[in-house]
Amino acid sequence: MPAKYIFLDMNAYFASVEQQLRPELRGRPVCVVPLEADTTFCIAASYEARFYQVKTGTRVREARRRAPGLVVVKARPRVYVEVHQRILEAVGRVLPVEEVLSIDEMRFALMKNEQPRARQLALELKEAIRREVGPWLRASVGIAPNRYLAKVATELEKPDGLVEIRKEDLPRALWPLSLRDLYGVGRRMEARLHRHGVYTVRQLTSLSCATMRRIWGGVVGERLWRSLRGEDLPPVPTRRRSVGHSHVLPPELRTPAGARKTLVRLLHKAAARLRRKGYWTRHLTVYVIRQDGPTWTAKTWLEPTQDTRRLLNALTGLYDKNPPADPFKVGLVLEHLLPERDTSPPLWPEARRGYQLSHVLDEINSLYGPDTVYFASMHGLEYAGEDRIAFGEIPHLEAARKPQPRRHWPGR
């Protein structure tokens, strides 16, 4: 079976961007952090830092101990988004992007006349990034007969790898991987596999389809069984179950008042994201992870809404009853979501005005930039308002996720 897909995974993306833009960081161990404090964690580490076992999730104090000469850099989310856009433009001149999976991952679907040239096209993608964006931005590229294996192939050779998985090489080509290298096998699933006597990918690929259905509890196991054998399955439509944000507080905001300010900012962001994705929420959960003491949590059910004002009232009502002491990290989750097509705008005039106002604010902010207009309760939250990038969410670039129309490029 010919190669149908190319998957591109940027290596140590945030740290690599910093090394590309700041030559003095090149060749040095670099750790990117959300805020300047030894109590926070690395959100990205350069390969020079990884040599010293510094990786995502390592506490900064421990990272400094492990890596002599470690450079700790505060994250610049807007810069990473801008570079992401430049990467999309560069690779788009080689192949149209089928889908952007995250700020550092994208996938390309090959036409029949392109499939015999898959390896050459993959090399051209890597060269386009080096030439048009920068040589310190390296990518691992996977080529495979289905979407799943193309992503898995990027795990076989890092950094700057290029691996093709052919159907005739399966499943042996997957055996060097660990179970956690397989997309869809997280910590809990790995533990479940261990309970069934499966500790390696070689053992996993020897299971029958029926056994994998039983372990996964349904069709997901069968789809994985078929994907590992090279079948090109159609994507499964997904429905979002929650929208949330969290934030580690800088030292100056580690007070009940500072935590409240940050939660207000996070609520504004979550509500706007909820509307942008076309959902209404029926449940709000607020939590505060404390420095000394148990996590503080409060929850409430709501009439279906996507109105920022109603959500703010619910948030402050929960928090102000019993604000927790010693906050370290705060977060909130909007759950029990309803697709917009299954709901109707509110009937009561006051509720309808809030609904309309929220959408008007979204339109203004999309035209003139985030936080051009906002509720007064958010005023003065410059730090709490700084962007944070979850790898699966690219601020203000949602349109880049949509499949692009197939075009014919000069010279191909």
Query: Residue 178's closest CA among 165, 164, 194?
Result: 194
Give the DSSP H/E element, type plus range, for residue 140: strand 139-144
Nearest to 266 by CA among 251, 287, 239, 282: 287
Residues 76-101, mean pLDDT to the nearest whole number: 94
Q: In what order do the strands lie in the sheet with 71-74?
A: 44-45, 30-33, 71-74
Q: Identify the pLDDT of residue 40.
A: 85
Structure confidence at residue 348 (pLDDT):
63
Please state, for a pLDDT cut of 70, what percent of the chain lies above it.
88
Write down the pLDDT at residue 401: 38
Partners of residue 102 on adjacent β-strands: 105
Does the structure show a pLDDT above 90 at 94? yes
3-state secondary structure of 335: strand
CA distance 119 to 241: 38
Helix (H), strand (E), coil (C) string for 397-409 = CHHHHCCCCCCCC
Q: Residue 163 — very low, low, confident or very high, per pLDDT cuts 50/70/90? A: very high
Residue range 127-133: mean pLDDT, rounded: 97
Task: Report yes or no on 150 lying in a domain.
Answer: no
- The helix/strand/coil state of 162 is strand
pLDDT, position 303: 87
% pLDDT > 90, the chain? 67
Average pLDDT over residues 152-163: 95
**Among candidate residues 346, 335, 344, 342, the one with its CA nearest the CA of residue 270:** 335
Picking from 169-173, 317-321, 404-408, which range would have the lowest pLDDT averaged per residue? 404-408
Taking only Cα atoms into account, the Rg of the chain, rounded to an integer number of angstroms, comes to 23
Residues 6+ apart with CB under 8 A from 313: none
pLDDT at res. 398: 41
In order of 17, 115, 363, 406, the CA distances from 94 in angstroms are 22, 14, 33, 12
| pLDDT of 397 over the 60 cut | no
- pLDDT bucket at 366, cuts 50 / 70 / 90: confident
> 343 phi and psi, to 5 degrees?
-130, 170
pLDDT of residue 404: 39
- Tell me the C-alpha distance between 397 and 106, whole Å: 13
Flag whether 174 is in a domain: no
Catalytic positions, written as ranges:
105
Q: 294 lies in a domain?
A: yes
Task: Specify the pTM.
Answer: 0.73
Residue 80 CB partners (closer than 8 Å, separation 6+): 13, 14, 17, 103, 389
- Which one, of 157, 159, 166, 207, lies nearest residue 185 by Cα? 207
Answer whether residue 221 shows pLDDT above 90: yes
In this prediction, residue 200 carries a pLDDT of 97
- Range name among 32-41, 66-75, 227-236 with the lowest pLDDT average: 32-41
Inside any domain, residue 336: yes
Three-state DSSP state, 369: coil
The structural domain count of the chain equals 2
Q: Which domain holds residue 270?
A: 242-390
Task: Please state, rounded to an integer, the average pLDDT across all residues of the chain.
Answer: 87
Per-residue pLDDT, 351? 67
CB 21 within 8 A of CB 136: no
Q: Phi/psi zone of residue 179: left (φ > 0), alpha (ψ -120 to 50 degrees), beta?
A: alpha
Q: Give the CATH number of the domain where residue 67 resides.
A: 3.40.1170.60
Last residue in a domain, options 78, 108, 130: 78
Question: Per-residue pLDDT for 167 more than 70?
Answer: yes
Q: How many CB atoms lie within 10 A of CB 70?
A: 21
Q: What CATH number has the domain bearing residue 295?
A: 3.30.1490.100
Average pLDDT over residues 212-233: 95
- Please indicate whether residue 375 or residue 242 has the higher confidence score (pLDDT): 242
Q: Which two tokens stand for residue 82?
A: 């801008």
Whose CA is closest to 6, among 86, 124, 158?
124
Q: What is residue 359's predicted lDDT score, i.e. its pLDDT?
A: 79
- Looking at the domain assignment, is residue 292 inside a domain? yes
pLDDT of residue 388: 54
Residue 242: count of CB within 10 angstroms of its CB = 15
**In a 3-state reduction of DSSP, which class is residue 213?**
helix
Residue 399 confidence class, pLDDT cut points 50, 70, 90: very low
> CA–CA separation, 15 vs 30, rounded Å?
6
pLDDT in tens, 306-315: 999 999 999 9
Q: What is the pLDDT of residue 361?
A: 81
Q: What is the pLDDT of residue 277?
A: 87
Return the SS3 of 238.
coil
Q: How far is the CA of 160 from the CAs of 123, 182, 242, in angstroms?
A: 11, 19, 35
Q: Is the pLDDT of residue 396 over 70?
A: no
| DSSP class per residue in 187-226 | HHHHHHHHHTT--SHHHHHTS-HHHHHHHHTSHHHHHHHH
Least confident of 166-175, 221-230, 240-249, 373-382: 373-382
Residue 194: both structure tokens together: 């261990």
* 411 within domain boundaries: no
Judge whether 134 lies within some domain: no
| pLDDT score for 346 | 63
E strands of 68-138, at which residues?
Answer: 71-74, 99-102, 105-109
Residue 370 maps to a domain: yes
pLDDT at 126 over 90: yes
